[in-house]
Amino acid sequence: MIQAVIFDLDGTLVDSFEDIAHAANHALTSLGHEERSFAEIKSHVGHGLRNLLSGLVSEANSEEIDRMMELVKSYYMDHPTDFTNTYPGASEMLDRLAELGIQTGVLSNKLDSLVQKIAVDLGFADKMGAVWGHREGFPLKPDPTSLLAILAEMGVSPAECLVVGDASPDRLLARNAGTQFCGVTFGMTDRSGWEGEGVDWCVDSLEEIAELTETIAAGRTD
């Protein structure tokens, strides 16, 4: 029986790629680098801010990456949801899971203060039992430390948790924590990508998540 569903944020619960691209390009151009395309920036999302910037500017040293990170954080805090919205069906899906008695939460590699602001701005903060971004002292996903802390607070075992995400760090997080996993096909990874990784479940819309939890509870695999 699924007792908790924990969602990734970017590319899973919200479409935030355009705001991320604007923030990254602001930092790049402020330090004399050329803008990068939306597609290139999106390809580096999901592994934390430092890894994103290092991937975009491989020649930058640690000090310059630090400066870019501060520029991104400052800009992004002022523009967290200029273009960002939840994916269709998010609110209804969270309401349905609550009706089923299933706890929900978010775990993102994005800076925690940004995750909190986005959750409030988009109206899902009060629908969830846990909203976590990357917090000091906690390793990034796919390390399971943050997820296990969330589940301990909820009183839920890993076997009773379904992780929902759009990219490999989320799948690896689920494996490392001992939870079940469902991939979404509208973020970083399409259906063929998930099938190539051998995941048990993938969905094409958030509306399908509540139905999936009921399917798992019934012991069905169809």
Give the integer Cα–Cα distance in Å for 13 and 92.
12
Q: Which of 94, 88, 109, 97 is nearest to 170 (CA)?
A: 109
Strands 201-203 and 180-184: parallel
Give the integer Cα–Cα distance in Å for 67 and 137.
21
C-alpha neighbours within 13 Å on the C-beta side of residue 166: 28
Which parts of 13-170 are beta strand (E)?
14-15, 85-86, 103-111, 130-134, 161-165
Query: Known catalytic residue: 8?
Result: yes
Annotated active-site residue in 8, 10, 19, 170:
8
| Cβ neighbours of 67 (radius 10 Å) | 15
Give the integer Cα–Cα distance in Å for 111 and 137.
12
Q: Which of 219, 132, 122 is nearest to 173 (CA)?
A: 132
Q: Which residues are catalytic?
A: 8
